[in-house]
């Protein structure tokens, strides 16, 4: 087994997918930027095309909303 194999197990996509699903499921506890990354991971690694489309739709929604938020200062 090489050093690369030790750091990158064969099931890493499944592990990242499970982690991303957990982040999206508990979205209230995470910043929008992390949820967007999780959605992109789901879209890239999910075997279910519907789940991938829904994840991309959620990411797009969060990106649109984040562009409308004021960036600091007082309103």
> In angstroms, what CA-CA distances link 52 with 27, 39, 41, 58, 71?
17, 8, 9, 10, 30
Asked if residue 13 belongs to a domain, the reply is yes
Q: What is the pLDDT of residues 5-20, one digit of tens each?
A: 567 778 888 999 999 9
Asked if residue 20 belongs to a domain, the reply is yes
Asked if residue 75 belongs to a domain, the reply is no
Distance of CA 23 to the CA centre of its chain: 7
In this model, does residue 26 exceed pLDDT 60?
A: yes
In this model, does residue 41 exceed pLDDT 70?
A: yes
Asked if residue 73 belongs to a domain, the reply is no
Asked if residue 74 belongs to a domain, the reply is no
Q: pTM higher than 0.85, yes or no?
A: no
d(CA 57, CA 38): 12
Q: What percent of the chain has pLDDT over 90?
A: 65
> Could you give the number of structural domains in the chain?
1
Return the pLDDT at 72: 59
Asked if residue 55 belongs to a domain, the reply is yes
């Amino acid at each position: 087994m090489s050093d690369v194999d030790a750091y990158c197990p064969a099931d890493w996509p499944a592990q990242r997918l499970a982690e991303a699903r957990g982040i999206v499921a508990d979205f209230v506890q995470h910043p929008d930027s992390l949820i967007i990354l999780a959605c992109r991971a789901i879209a890239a690694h999910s075997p279910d095309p519907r789940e991938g489309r829904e994840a991309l739709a959620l990411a797009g929604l969060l990106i649109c909303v984040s562009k409308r938020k004021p960036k600091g200062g007082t309103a």
